[in-house]
Amino acid sequence: MMGANVPGNIDNIRRVLVLGDNRLSTSILSGLSSNPSVDLELHLAVHQKSSSSPGSHVSVHTVDFTAESLNALFHELSPDIIFSTSHGGSFDQQKSIIDTAISVGISRFVPAEFGQDSQNTALHGRLPPLRGRWQCINYLKELGDKGAIEWVAPATGIQLDQAIISGNIGFDLKWQSVTVHGTGNEEFAASSTQWNGKVATAITSNWDNVKNQYLYAPGMITTVNTCLAALQNATGQKWERGDNDVEDMVREGERRIERGFPDAGMFLLEKSVLCDESLNTVGPFREKDAKRMLGMEGEKLEDVVKKVVHDFKHDGKGDCGCG
């Protein structure tokens, strides 16, 4: 495997390729395109073109994500940096993308993180996809030490707006009720969907300062009780509340998986890590906060919640597109 000739000047980042068609890729492209200080050439690689266009400022390429198709695309575009946003839990897929990038001479790579802390091995038992991401980071560390490629991996916590709208953390916007597991005072790292785009922009603008690091960059650290207070304030209504044990939720999640309902089980296990203080999910986000290194200020919970309530009232889901 030939190592890339890794440049060290941020001015060399002009052509950006984002892999994957999802909410994360949309946020990254939106953030990068709204940066007035840098004129970037943006490309998006997808399995198939969708009816919704990312905008005239983004060139869309259709690939099947095999090593052969990616090799051809990488040769064609010669991007200065790649953001991977799909198959995050598959180490084999991420490794294939990384190896292909290096073979073509691409020098910078951002893996599919932008979420929970994959470096917290205590989470791997409940959230197996995090193990694949952890393996990917270890692989990038080895390659970075050899000078084969530069990388940055950001952890931003749960996507709070989507978690509230979907009900994944216990909130029901329609009926204005909440189911709280634990006390509701357990802290967790969170951010809005738009925050990921801002983090991506900050990474490209500060590459030399942050390269070859796992970055903890949440929009905020909050609790379910704090979110509930913000939702009650934004809706002008007192919400109904139910309380349950964390242990019961974990057991039920495991039972659902054993019965052949993995998605329903994972939903509960994902929620459980936010309210189980024994896992110390919030510690690294608080102790190793990289926002100052990225030149960023955090988000305000009230702003995120107000937008969630507005979007839900508009059409029953997030991202209503209102200006």
**How much is the pTM?**
0.90
Q: Which amino acid is at 233?
A: N
pLDDT tens track for 47-65? 877 656 666 689 999 999 9
CB 107 within 8 A of CB 150: yes
Domains present along the chain, CATH in parentheses: 10-155+193-216 (3.40.50.720), 159-190+220-315 (3.90.25)
CB 125 within 8 A of CB 249: no
For the chain, residues with pLDDT lower than 50 are 1-9, 323
- HEC profile of the chain: CCCCCCCCCHHHCCEEEEECCCHHHHHHHHHHHCCCCCCCEEEEEECCCCCCCCCCCEEEEECCCCHHHHHHHHHHHCCCEEEECCCCCCHHHHHHHHHHHHHHCCCEEECCCCCCCCCCHHHCCCCCHHHHHHHHHHHHHHHHHCCCCEEEEEECCEEHHHHHHHCCCCEECCCCEEEEECCCCCCEEEECHHHHHHHHHHHHHCHHHHCCEEEECCCEEECHHHHHHHHHHHHCCCCEEEEECHHHHHHHHHHHHHCCCHHHHHHHHHHHCCCCHHHCCCHHHHHCECHHHHCCCCCCHHHHHHHHHHHHHHHCCCCCCCC
Give phi and psi for 83, each to the nearest 5: -105, 120
Q: Tokens for 113, please give them.
A: 């993180």
User: What is the per-residue pLDDT for 2?
Assistant: 40
Question: How would you class 85 by CB atoms within 10 Å of its CB: exposed for 0-12, middle for 13-18, buried for 19 or more?
Answer: buried
User: What is the per-residue pLDDT for 9?
Assistant: 44
User: What is the per-residue pLDDT for 10?
Assistant: 52
User: What is the per-residue pLDDT for 47?
Assistant: 87
User: What is the per-residue pLDDT for 38?
Assistant: 72
